[in-house]
A and B are shown apart, each in its own frame.
Chain A
């Protein structure tokens, strides 16, 4: 079955991203397809490679990046939400005149249409939030 996942909250503050990760992992282990993981609201914060949690804690960003790498996941960060919260890739830095980027290369920034498309194209959309 084709799943898509929407994550509304950033890492650490809420369990949403952790639950979504566990769900995604379990779905992949069962042989399901994850069509897309869409990061919205503060959920865009799951994509910054500058995250540095203490060594005895999980690294939520790296964990997503590794799962993404392993399963070639399409992990999309909403552009409007990202701009508001300072999540930047090369393209956004150039367009908006920013002097740095912070997105992990496994994620990509794109529009809200990607969320609608995911909902339409997938068999199930599962939302994780506050």
Chain B
């Protein structure tokens, strides 16, 4: 079984991102959405955590990045930018969705 986790809070405001990373077992994925997309950006406090998460694939929701003026060029290496259609695919491909609201 592999899980899709979603994080919708800024890592600078809430602990959801850290908690989620702690619960993401190898083979699972984390989708950063809404204010969670700030965790996908280079140079911030989350970069090392994203890069060191073993066997966990990170995604960021493109429409939320665009809305917030975040450039795709500055996304942490390895984070894949997706749209809502791909969000649906990810929910389908993983055996369940865990929301870190």
Whether chain B is bound by chain A comes out as yes
Q: Are B99 and A127 in contact (CB under 8 A)?
A: yes
Count residues on chain A whose CB falls below 8 Å from chain B CBs: 22
A:1-50 near B, CB below 8 Å: 1, 3, 8, 15-16, 19, 22-23, 25-27, 29-30, 32
Task: Give the nearest-CB partner of A15 in chain B.
Answer: B34
Name the A residues within 8 Å of B91 (CB-CB). Answer: 3, 23, 124, 126
Q: Are A22 and B84 in contact (CB under 8 A)?
A: yes
With A8-B101, A126-B97, A130-B101 as given contacts, are A19 and B33 in contact (CB-CB < 8 Å)?
yes
**B85 touches which of A3, A19, A26 (Cβ 8 Å):** A26
**B99 touches which of A27, A123, A128 (Cβ 8 Å):** A128
Q: Interface residues of A: mostly helix, strand, loop or mixed?
A: mixed
Q: How far apart are the CA atoms of A19 and B34 in the complex, in Å?
A: 8
The tally of CB-CB contacts under 8 A between chains A and B is: 52
Tell yes or no: B92 within 8 A of A by CB.
yes
Task: Give the nearest-CB partner of B33 in chain A.
Answer: A19
**A124 touches which of B33, B83, B92 (Cβ 8 Å):** B92
B:53-101 near A, CB below 8 Å: 63, 83-85, 87-89, 91-92, 96-97, 99, 101
Q: Are A29 and B34 in contact (CB under 8 A)?
A: no
Q: Are B101 and A26 in contact (CB under 8 A)?
A: no
Task: Give the nearest-CB partner of B85 in chain A.
Answer: A26
Tell yes or no: A129 within 8 A of B by CB.
yes
A-B contacts besides A30-B85, A32-B92, A128-B101, 12 pairs, CB < 8 Å? A15-B8, A19-B34, A22-B63, A23-B88, A27-B88, A123-B92, A125-B96, A125-B97, A126-B97, A126-B99, A129-B8, A129-B99
8 CB < 8 A contacts A-B: A19-B8, A19-B34, A23-B91, A124-B91, A124-B92, A125-B97, A127-B99, A128-B99
- Nearest 5 pairs of A and B residues by beta carbon: A129-B101, A26-B84, A127-B99, A22-B84, A27-B88
